[in-house]
Amino acid sequence: MDFPAREPIVEDSLPLSLSKDHPHPISQVLFPPGYNGELLITVEQKRVACWEVPFEGSEAFLVAERHLVDCVIDGLVVNEDPHSEAMLIVMFSRIVGT
């Protein structure tokens, strides 16, 4: 079955504007197993954050976050074992000479 391609709606004259509270776009969203999608991890430049998003419609709230100063996030791996204490591995490199 072929589905028609959807053309993106983009205003070329309007640049992407980000708020002061969220100056960097999110580059990755991860859903750890064992939480039924109510827990998610976001990555934006030098920040990794874990959010709880209840299904009953209340607002999402921040559970944990880590800012990596003078570092670059190289990768993340979510533990596939929902019974393990370790949920996430963050790999990063330190920026030298800044």
The one-digit pLDDT tens for each residue of the chain (98 residues) are 555 555 544 544 455 566 666 666 788 888 888 777 788 898 888 889 999 888 877 788 899 999 988 888 888 888 888 788 888 888 888 888 75
pLDDT at 44: 85
Note the pTM of the prediction, 2 decimals: 0.66
pLDDT at 36: 77
pLDDT at 13: 45
Q: Which residues pair with 67 in a beta bridge?
A: 47
pLDDT at 79: 85
Domain assignment present for residue 15? The answer is no
Domain assignment present for residue 33? The answer is yes
What is the number of structural domains in the chain?
1
Residue-by-residue DSSP string for 28-52: EEE--TTSTTSEEEEEETTEEEEEE
Domain assignment of residue 90, given as a range: 28-94
Domain assignment present for residue 48? The answer is yes
